[in-house]
């Protein structure tokens, strides 16, 4: 082989290796479709995903859907057009995802669900879901309620967003467990859409209708529970005593309410999913086998524990 030809080969190899090195150094590009900012819990999750991306050198494309599925679908379609390496989706509702996720599948982009699940006929449309066990959370709240009431009393339920897996399953876990104790009755259930404002409004309506017959409020998240506290105070009752309150999430605001004596118990639902989400996504891109449901473990906290635990809360 001539010197000139050898020179061309060496140059070609140089650019080939340089291209590989460039590709290796290229940051991972990830699209994240977030439901919105309806609660302190949701904000904590968003901050976890964004901060973990910065620490890992990931190029994150973030979209706030403002609680609308159509906005999430538009965002996902935009992520596909931008050629992202992976997509994180916190779905606002369970159904209606097949068309857009089929588009994502055709583009060979892995999708990981965060904090909520979806209902689809073809589960290959997403890699896995990283969530808490919402049925367990509802069951745990019911067990506390039965014990607190001594097996006799009345409950009102502040439900989350209709169609959201967190709301559906927290309700199922709670109501299924209460069927074991006929003496504890649910007077009424209404959606507060996971927001403090609507939680307060619904609780005001409950108080006008049932008043002192309400013994316990079960709220599907802390923000609705905090709204209920405001309504209870304004109605002349003492939250935490006249009407007891249990919620799901375990944000610092809920711990502050427990320390103040306004809230009685919370079931944890950890929102700090960013690091685990990226770790899982990288495994998916590398072709590794991943469990379909990665469960976040949660626990119950009561107001007796609040003062000693609040200092360690990260959200």
Arithmetic mean of pLDDT over the chain:
92
pLDDT, residue 18, reads: 40
Residues 68 and 160 in one domain: no
**Measured distance CA(169)–CA(137) in Å, rounded:** 9
Residues 209 and 248 in one domain: yes
Going from the C-alpha of 102 to that of each of 44, 126, 291, the distances in angstroms are 30, 10, 21
Strand arrangement of the beta sheet that strand 293-296 belongs to: 59-64, 29-34, 86-89, 111-114, 128-132, 293-296
pLDDT, residue 23, reads: 42
Higher pLDDT, 277 or 40: 277
Q: Does the pLDDT at position 22 exceed 80?
A: no
Q: Does the pLDDT at position 5 exceed 80?
A: no
**How many Cβ atoms from other residues are within 10 Å of residue 96's Cβ?**
17
Question: For residue 133, which of 117, 153, 144, 156 has the smallest C-alpha distance?
Answer: 117
Residues 53 and 76 in one domain: yes
The string of pLDDT tens digits covering residues 127-156 is 999 999 999 999 999 999 999 999 999 999
Residues 124 and 202 in one domain: no
pLDDT category of residue 25 using cuts at 50, 70 and 90: low
pLDDT category of residue 16 using cuts at 50, 70 and 90: very low
pLDDT category of residue 1 using cuts at 50, 70 and 90: very low
DSSP symbols for 157-179 = EEE-STT-HHHHHHHHHHHHHHT
Q: Is residue 310 part of a domain?
A: no
Mean pLDDT value of segment 52-61: 98
pLDDT, residue 90, reads: 98
Q: Is residue 3 part of a domain?
A: no
The answer to whether residues 41 and 271 touch, using CB atoms and an 8 Å cutoff, is yes
Q: Is residue 311 part of a domain?
A: no
Q: Is residue 315 part of a domain?
A: no
pLDDT, residue 314, reads: 84
Residues 138 and 99 in one domain: no
The string of pLDDT tens digits covering residues 151-210 is 999 999 999 999 999 999 999 999 999 999 999 999 999 999 999 999 999 999 999 999
**How many Cβ atoms from other residues are within 10 Å of residue 8's Cβ?**
12
Residues 141 and 258 in one domain: yes
Residues 150 and 232 in one domain: yes
Mean pLDDT value of segment 12-36: 65
Residues 164 and 99 in one domain: no
Residues 139 and 258 in one domain: yes
Domain limits at 260?
134-269
pLDDT, residue 198, reads: 98
Considering the chain, what percentage of its residues have pLDDT values greater than 70?
92
Q: Is residue 144 part of a domain?
A: yes
Q: H-helix or E-strand containing 86?
A: strand 86-89
Mean pLDDT value of segment 285-314: 94
Range of lowest pLDDT (10-19, 59-68, 231-240): 10-19
**Tokens 């524990």 found at:** 305
Q: Does the pLDDT at position 111 exceed 80?
A: yes
Say which DSSP state 63 is in. E
Residues 141 and 242 in one domain: yes
Q: Does the pLDDT at position 11 exceed 80?
A: no
Mean pLDDT value of segment 298-311: 94
Residues 104 and 253 in one domain: no
Report how many domains make up the chain: 2
CATH assignment of the domain containing 202? 3.40.50.2300
**Measured distance CA(273)–CA(313) in Å, rounded:** 15
pLDDT, residue 13, reads: 41
Q: Does the pLDDT at position 266 exceed 50?
A: yes
Residues 6 or more apart in contact with residue 294 via CB below 8 angstroms: 128, 129, 130, 131, 276, 280
Q: Is residue 255 part of a domain?
A: yes
pLDDT, residue 17, reads: 41
Q: Is residue 1 part of a domain?
A: no
Residues 128 and 275 in one domain: yes
Question: For residue 46, which of 289, 302, 312, 277 has the smallest C-alpha distance?
Answer: 277
Q: Is residue 140 part of a domain?
A: yes
Mean pLDDT value of segment 58-63: 98
**Measured distance CA(116)–CA(194) in Å, rounded:** 14
The answer to whether residues 151 and 128 touch, using CB atoms and an 8 Å cutoff, is no
Higher pLDDT, 54 or 15: 54
- Token pair for residue 59? 């190029």
Question: For residue 192, which of 216, 165, 157 has the smallest C-alpha distance?
Answer: 157
């Amino acid at each position: 082989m001539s010197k000139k030809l050898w020179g061309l080969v060496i140059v070609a190899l140089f650019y080939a290796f340089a291209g590989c090195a460039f590709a290796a150094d290229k940051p991972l590009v990830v699209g994240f479709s977030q439901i919105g900012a309806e609660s302190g819990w949701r904000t904590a999750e968003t901050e976890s995903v964004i901060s973990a991306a910065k620490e890992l050198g990931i190029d994150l494309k973030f979209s706030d859907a403002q609680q609308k599925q159509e906005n999430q679908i538009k965002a996902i379609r935009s992520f596909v057009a931008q050629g992202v390496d992976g997509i994180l989706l916190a779905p606002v509702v369970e159904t209606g995802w097949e068309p857009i996720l089929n588009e994502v599948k055709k583009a060979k982009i892995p999708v990981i669900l965060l904090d909520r699940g979806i209902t689809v006929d073809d589960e290959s449309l997403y890699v896995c879901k990283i969530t808490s066990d919402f049925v367990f959370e509802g069951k745990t709240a019911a067990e506390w309620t039965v014990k607190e009431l001594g097996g006799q009393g009345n409950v009102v339920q502040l439900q989350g967003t209709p169609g959201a897996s967190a709301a559906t399953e927290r309700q199922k876990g709670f109501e299924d467990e209460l069927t074991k104790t006929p003496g504890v009755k649910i007077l009424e259930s209404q959606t507060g859409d996971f927001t403090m404002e609507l939680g307060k409004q619904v609780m005001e309506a409950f108080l006008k209708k049932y008043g002192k017959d309400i013994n316990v409020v079960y709220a599907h998240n802390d923000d609705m529970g905090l709204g209920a506290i405001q309504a209870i105070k304004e109605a002349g009752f003492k939250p935490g005593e006249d009407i007891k309150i249990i919620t799901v999430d375990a944000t610092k605001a809920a711990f502050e309410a427990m320390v103040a004596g306004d809230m009685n118990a919370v079931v944890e639902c950890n929102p700090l999913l960013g690091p685990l989400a990226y770790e899982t996504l990288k495994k998916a891109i590398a072709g590794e086998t991943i469990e379909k449901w990665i469960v976040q473990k949660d626990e119950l906290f009561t107001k007796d524990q609040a003062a000693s635990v609040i200092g360690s809360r990260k959200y």
